[in-house]
Amino acid sequence: MTLAPFYAAPVFIKVHIIAALTVASLTPLQFWGFRKGSLPHRASGYLWLGAMLVVAISSFWIRASGLEPRLGPFSFIHLLSVLALFSIYTAIRHARAGNIIGHRKTLIALSIGFWIAGVLTFTPDRIMGQIIGL
């Protein structure tokens, strides 16, 4: 394992990785650590959504590696980023309207998408794969 690929990466990729690690570390707290609706749940929820927003927006500066199908500089993963932005908006809208079931379902789906996309970064051609030595 080496952090050299992280240090050599452009700043927007570093921001993307740090935001993704923030989301990954807060997810268990949001789902299992705090009582739903409590002040800690809401406070860390804002941080979680903010970090997820940074992950989604920063992804648009990350170009396809050439291995996956793409449309111009964008790949399939960028569609997930658009979906994530919509999901963030929808989750906030549901929470403010008191639709807790809709809020919960939206964030579970967003979290599943986040973890799927995250796992796909651990390939030899990507920085996360290089960091862990694939």
Q: How confident is the model at residue 8 (pLDDT cuts 50, 70, 90)?
A: very high
The two structure tokens encoding residue 76? 């399939």
- Are residues 58 and 12 in contact, defined by beta-carbon separation less than 8 angstroms? yes
Give the torsion through C-alpha atoms of 124, 27, 22, 73, to 10 deg. Answer: 50
Q: Which of 126, 107, 5 is nearest to 48 (CA)?
A: 107
pLDDT tens digits for 78-121? 788 999 999 999 999 999 999 999 999 999 999 999 999 899 88
Please state the separation of Cα 96 from the chain's center in Å.
Answer: 22
Share of the chain above pLDDT 90, in %: 63
pLDDT digits over 30-71, tens only?
A: 989 888 888 999 999 999 999 999 999 999 888 766 566 566
